[in-house]
A = this chain, B = another copy of it.
Amino acid sequence: MASPVEMDTKKESGNYLNHISLDCVVFGFHSNQLKVLVLHMKTTGEWALPGGFVRGDESIEVAANRVLKKRTGLDEIFLRQFNVFSDPQRSNRNPTVVDLLLSGQDYPEANWFDQRFISVGFYALVEFSQVQPQPDELSDICEWVNLDQISKLILDHNAILNKALETLRLQLTFQPIGYNLLPEKFTMSELRRLYETILGKELDRRNFQRKILAYDILIRLDEFRQGVAHKAPSLYKFNLQNYQKALDEGLNGRW
């Protein structure tokens, strides 16, 4: 009972609002795989997305950043609301075990989990290498799992993950992605592989390069990836001004 996370919880003041929770789909990219951060519950052995509740003095964004700072160690995270999950049956579960664990902690009611929660879904795009996964007070493991190896999650967390992925896939058609997921310098193959792993399908190498270059969001550097078997490939970085413009106005520009 003395992990850093639990001590953090004790130190904080203020109760949580009833009925409102948040769940985070944290995407990272490593070894050409899209990965998702998940927690393993101590008591039941189930897997879950990182999440939390909203304190009386917090906006939902502040709450999400607080939760993700604890789970990842990161202060500034690319984080977006993408959907509110509110099926009246979504949070039905046996509350006994978690309540036992949490009694005497920061929750306003002994039967905290025995209420209906409407959950705000966020997705986060993070640079894999900078994350230090940390379990919460209900879990004993926090780790990255490849997207295609995620199995059954608790409650409606699989649906939350799928909706986040669907949002990301649509977003690829009108906004750039990659700045928050890739290291500063990357090859065209690494960027294409990121798109492929989000889309769940292979892309034609030449078409991808032609299309992505036409958006004018990349700068080709006079540097090459070292230590690869074949001809050393060029490195790119994002043109941040154009990248931001494409985020604001869409990849195809204003009407």
Which residues does A use to contact B, with CB under 8 Å? 17-20, 54, 56-61, 81, 83-84, 86-88, 116, 118, 120, 170, 172-174, 195, 199, 203, 208, 211, 249-255
| Residues on the B chain within 8 Å of A252, using CB | 173-174, 251-252
Q: Are B56 and A88 in contact (CB under 8 A)?
A: yes
Q: Which residue of B lies closest to A58 (CB)?
A: B88
| Residues on the B chain within 8 Å of A211, using CB | 255
Q: What 7 A-B pairs have minimum CB-CB distances, sorted nearest first?
A: A173-B250, A174-B174, A60-B86, A59-B86, A17-B19, A84-B120, A59-B87
Complex CA distance for A112 and B72, rounded to whole angstroms: 38
> What's the least CB distance linking A208 to chain B, in Å?
7
Complex CA distance for A174 and B253, rounded to whole angstroms: 10
| Residues on the B chain within 8 Å of A87, using CB | 59
Complex CA distance for A45 and B144, rounded to whole angstroms: 54
Complex CA distance for A252 and B170, rounded to whole angstroms: 11
Complex CA distance for A118 and B55, rounded to whole angstroms: 12
Q: Given A19-B20, A84-B81, are A118 and B54 neighbors across the interface (CB < 8 Å)?
A: yes
With most chain B CB atoms within 10 A of its CB, the pick from A86, A172, A250 is A86
| Residues on the B chain within 8 Å of A208, using CB | 255
Q: Are B18 and A255 in contact (CB under 8 A)?
A: no
Q: Given A18-B18, A19-B18, A173-B174, are A88 and B254 neighbors across the interface (CB < 8 Å)?
A: no
Complex CA distance for A120 and B88, rounded to whole angstroms: 16
Complex CA distance for A17 and B86, rounded to whole angstroms: 12
| Residues on the B chain within 8 Å of A250, using CB | 170, 173-174
